[in-house]
Amino acid sequence: MPTEGLTELISAEKIAARVAEMGTEISRDLAGIDELTVLCVLKGAFIFAADLVRHLTLPCRIEFIRASSYGTHRASSGKVMLDLHRDPHVEGKHVLLVEDILDTGLTVTRILEELRGHNPASLRVCTLLDKPSARTTPVSADYTGFTIPDVYVVGYGLDAAGRYRELPYIATPNA
């Protein structure tokens, strides 16, 4: 039963079914590569990435990159902070960037710019959620779980000021 103050938007069952489908599709598309580097964008994509990789039938290496743009506000700050002190280990690799949500598009655009500078063999984007109507920077994903309207969502890794990441479903906070 949903937590008080939240309205469920996508159930845990629907998420699980879609994540399994995405895993099958990615595995089919990339069949034959020697290794896939799954680059999980922290913090929001940690649950999605953990579930997705268990549906991949490819040899994987799992890496993490930390990006933050929101602080504790619900509107994009317009600035994206990346943990660039770390080598993302993507040189010469087939990379799948795994994000929780494409909103304005700034975060993924910044990460892609950075990764291209490290010369990956290939680079694809996989996002659980997409809010195309919120886009200010043109970027799209190769794999999208669900397209949603421009509403703030929480759960399954996504937070509001650090809360609700643990919920197994996706919900909108009641106004």
Binding residues vs ligand IMP (CB under 6 A) = 44, 69-70, 76, 99-107, 152-154, 158
Edge to edge, the sheet with strand 122-130 lists 81-82, 60-68, 36-42, 94-102, 122-130, 143-147
Which partner from the list Mg ion, ligand IMP, none does 71 bind, CB cut-off 5 to 8 Å by kind?
none
103 is an active site residue: yes
Q: Which residue has the tokens 């919120």?
A: 134
Min CB(164)–ligand IMP separation in Å: 9
Nearer to Mg ion, 44 or 155 (CB): 44
Given its phi and psi angles, is residue 5 left (phi above 0), alpha (psi -120 to 50 degrees) or beta?
Answer: left
Min CB(35)–ligand IMP separation in Å: 25
Burial class (CB in 10 A: 0-12, 13-18, 19+), 149: exposed
For residue 43, give the nearest of 137, 142, 161, 145 by alpha carbon.
161
Residue 157 near Mg ion by CB under 5 A:
no
Nearer to ligand IMP, 28 or 74 (CB): 74
Which range of residues in 9-17, 18-26, 37-45, 165-173 is near Mg ion by CB under 5 A?
A: 37-45
Min CB(33)–Mg ion separation in Å: 26
Q: Report which residue type is found at 123.
A: L
Nearer to ligand IMP, 86 or 163 (CB): 163
β-bridge partners, 24: none
Exactly one of 23, 44, 155, 157 binds Mg ion (CB under 5 A); that residue is 44
Instruction: Give the catalytic positions in this structure.
Output: 103
